[in-house]
Amino acid sequence: MSTLSDLVYAQGRSSEAEVEWLHRLAGDGQLLADLAFADIVIWVPTDDDTFIAVAHTRPGGAATLFYRDIVGDRVRPQWRTQVREAFQSGRIVDSASPDWFEETPTRVRAVPIVRTHGQDPAMTIGVLTRHTNLGETRTPSRQQITFNDCADDLFGMVASGEFPNLDAPTAPRRGAPRASDGLIRLDVNGVTTFASPNALSAFNRMGFDDELEGESLVEVTTRILPEKRQFDESLPLVVSGRAPWRADIEARGVSVSLRTIPLRDHGTRIGAIVLCRDVTEIRHQEQELITKDATIREIHHRVKNNLQTVASLLRIQARRSHSDEARDALTQAMRRVAAIAVVHDTLSEGLAQNVDFDNVFDRVLKLVAEVAAAPNTRARTHSTGTFGTLPSEYATPLALALTELVTNAVEHGLAGQEGDVEIIAERSEDRLEVRVRDTGTGLPEGQVGRGLGTQIVRTLIQGELGGTIDWHTIMGSGTEVTIDIPMRYIERAPN
């Protein structure tokens, strides 16, 4: 299914700012649908003088009219005149009589979507339609009447360019309060004129035992907030209904998230809607995740420190060794441990268990060049291409394998001479190919070393990464090692 942006841009009329306005409005489509107890559809004009649906939201507390998605469909003939009139006149247009849709009586309201920006003249960029199902008509409750009044106020703001408010901060959808979670209607002075049962329950759980209606929400909040406890600086603006902000209240172990939508009538503030939701369990889960992330980072940090300590001990032991063979073995072990430490150091710096392998390899490359170069060997190492982001369980074996390959290229391919070692990374959607190429003496064709380093590389690439590795001599001189890793294994790795 096409996205809102794709559908709008396909008409060739809208700017990026207009698309952002429509995205903000569509983001509050569920709020409008729940308040109006009706389907909400957003239409934009087309080049052939009709309209196309770019967003649709079904109500949560009423029967929907559209059992099939209408996004991408052109406006039906019975609504076209009403939608066109709203778009051209810039006024809200209600259907004169009930409209029948698939044998269901409905009432349609067309609201022009007006965008304002600074001193620029207001511009109608689309039409919002409300489709109310009249087939389930019953005596409305006080809550339903209040919800409908709130919806009408918001529709009026949409038509005057006062909603959505681009100055309002965007927030994660997780835990965002909805109309059904709890709604409080404030007058212009911040006094509660209506509180839904869920809203009242939320404040009761925080310690307020009285009725909210007739009370100043600022005073109620002040009463329940614990003394000498820090709170969100935006909270006074939220509970007074003066700014379109979000804030949390925490009291008696209960956390309630608030979102305020100031209501205006052609620029004059007439009150506010305050949505509230008990997010205690969500906040506990978030805190547990933060604690777990911090613990994982601390573990990586300690593992890195321990590995660096081991590497330092190996380095000291190598310096004290009188045997060249033992010294080389200890130096190689030190280098391998240090390469693994680099991966853990990178993981300790972020929350995700994925690493930017380009950053990791740059650090490994400096370590290898520094340790592997003999006094009579001058090796210039450089890399091209991009490895991208890899899961930690793939970053460690790849870093260790490349450490061995670059070390071999320096120590054996360029032994006693000057030359270059080039690492080329090419990543596509389905493969990661890495080539390590040196300008050294090269290997006899078909002969590969049988040392510990070669065995380690084979085990890591073929066993742990499910890839292939190939050694061959470059025409003229030098050796090139090609590693090919299928990306499907990387994509299956958990984050």
- Burial class of residue 5 in the structure, from the number of CB atoms within 10 Å of its CB (0-12 exposed, 13-18 middle, 19+ buried): middle
Q: Please tell me the distance from the alpha carbon of residue 113 to that of residue 214, in angstroms, as a whole number.
A: 34
Both tokens of 338, joined, read 């240090």
Instruction: Answer for the pair 134, 107: CB distance below 8 angstroms, yes or no.
Output: yes
Element (H, E) at 474: none
The pLDDT of residue 54 is 95
Q: Give the chain's mean pLDDT.
A: 84
pLDDT exceeds 80 at position 348:
no
The pLDDT-based confidence of 461 (bands split at 50, 70, 90) is confident
**Highest mean pLDDT: which of 77-81, 173-177, 351-355?**
77-81
Residue 30 DSSP code: H
Tokens 């006062």 found at: 162
Specify the CATH architecture of the domain 4-160. Answer: 2-Layer Sandwich (3.30)
Among residues 166, 181, 235, the alpha carbon closest in space to that of 61 is found at 181
Both tokens of 55, joined, read 């967003």
The pLDDT of residue 91 is 95
The pLDDT-based confidence of 257 (bands split at 50, 70, 90) is very high
Domain 378-495 in this protein, CATH class? alpha beta
* Cis? peptide before 177, omega within 30° of 0: no
Q: Please tell me the distance from the alpha carbon of residue 65 to that of residue 131, in angstroms, as a whole number.
A: 7
β-pair partners for 246: 259
Instruction: Answer for the pair 165, 19: CB distance below 8 angstroms, yes or no.
Output: no
Identity (one letter) of the amino acid at 369? A
Please determine whether the domains at 179-278 and 378-495 fall in the same fold group of CATH: no
The pLDDT of residue 1 is 46
Among residues 299, 403, 397, 286, the alpha carbon closest in space to that of 347 is found at 299
pLDDT exceeds 80 at position 326:
yes
The pLDDT of residue 128 is 97
Q: Please tell me the distance from the alpha carbon of residue 346 to that of residue 362, in angstroms, as a whole number.
A: 12
Q: Please tell me the distance from the alpha carbon of residue 82 to that of residue 92, in angstroms, as a whole number.
A: 9
For helices 357-372 and 324-347, angle between their N-to-C axes, nearest 10 degrees: 160
pLDDT exceeds 90 at position 121:
no
Please write the tens of the pLDDT for every residue from 125-144.
999 999 998 877 678 899 99
| Every domain of the chain and the residues it spans | 4-160, 179-278, 282-351, 378-495
pLDDT exceeds 70 at position 112:
yes
Q: Please tell me the distance from the alpha carbon of residue 7 to that of residue 71, in angstroms, as a whole number.
A: 9
Q: For the chain, how are helix, strand and coil distributed in percent, rounded to 5?
A: 40, 25, 30
Percentage of residues in the chain having pLDDT higher than 90: 36
Q: Please tell me the distance from the alpha carbon of residue 363 to that of residue 385, in angstroms, as a whole number.
A: 16
The pLDDT of residue 129 is 97
pLDDT exceeds 60 at position 385:
yes
Among residues 214, 210, 236, the alpha carbon closest in space to that of 225 is found at 236
CA distances from 11 to 7, 8, 19, 26 (A): 7, 6, 12, 18
- Identify which has the larger pLDDT, 365 or 31: 31
Q: Which residues contact 463 (CB under 8 A, 6 or more apart)?
A: none
The pLDDT-based confidence of 228 (bands split at 50, 70, 90) is low
Instruction: Answer for the pair 222, 190: CB distance below 8 angstroms, yes or no.
Output: no
Among residues 17, 84, 2, the alpha carbon closest in space to that of 45 is found at 84
Instruction: Answer for the pair 383, 399: CB distance below 8 angstroms, yes or no.
Output: no
The pLDDT-based confidence of 445 (bands split at 50, 70, 90) is low
The pLDDT of residue 213 is 95
β-pair partners for 277: 257
Question: Dihedrals φ, ψ of 444, to 5°?
Answer: -60, 135
Q: Which residues contact 395 (CB under 8 A, 6 or more apart)?
A: 343, 346, 355, 357, 360
The pLDDT-based confidence of 346 (bands split at 50, 70, 90) is low
pLDDT exceeds 90 at position 314:
no
The total number of residues written for the chain in this structure: 495
pLDDT exceeds 80 at position 476:
no
In the three-class reduction of DSSP (H, G, I as helix; E, B as strand; rest coil), residue 44 is classed as strand
The pLDDT-based confidence of 168 (bands split at 50, 70, 90) is confident
Measured over the CA atoms of residue 338, residue 339, residue 343 and residue 349, the dihedral's sign is positive
Q: Which residues contact 288 (CB under 8 A, 6 or more apart)?
A: none
Please write the tens of the pLDDT for every residue from 194-204.
999 999 999 99
179-278 belongs to which homologous superfamily?
PAS domain (3.30.450.20)
**Highest mean pLDDT: which of 163-172, 292-301, 429-438?**
429-438
Among residues 261, 141, 146, 249, the alpha carbon closest in space to that of 195 is found at 146
Instruction: Answer for the pair 424, 383: CB distance below 8 angstroms, yes or no.
Output: yes
Q: Please tell me the distance from the alpha carbon of residue 56 to that of residue 162, in angstroms, as a whole number.
A: 21
The pLDDT of residue 494 is 43
CB atoms within 10 A of CB 61: 13
> What's the average model confidence in pLDDT over 280-294?
78
Q: Please tell me the distance from the alpha carbon of residue 487 to that of residue 432, in angstroms, as a whole number.
A: 6
Q: Please tell me the distance from the alpha carbon of residue 36 to that of residue 248, in angstroms, as a whole number.
A: 26
- Identify which has the larger pLDDT, 429 or 204: 204
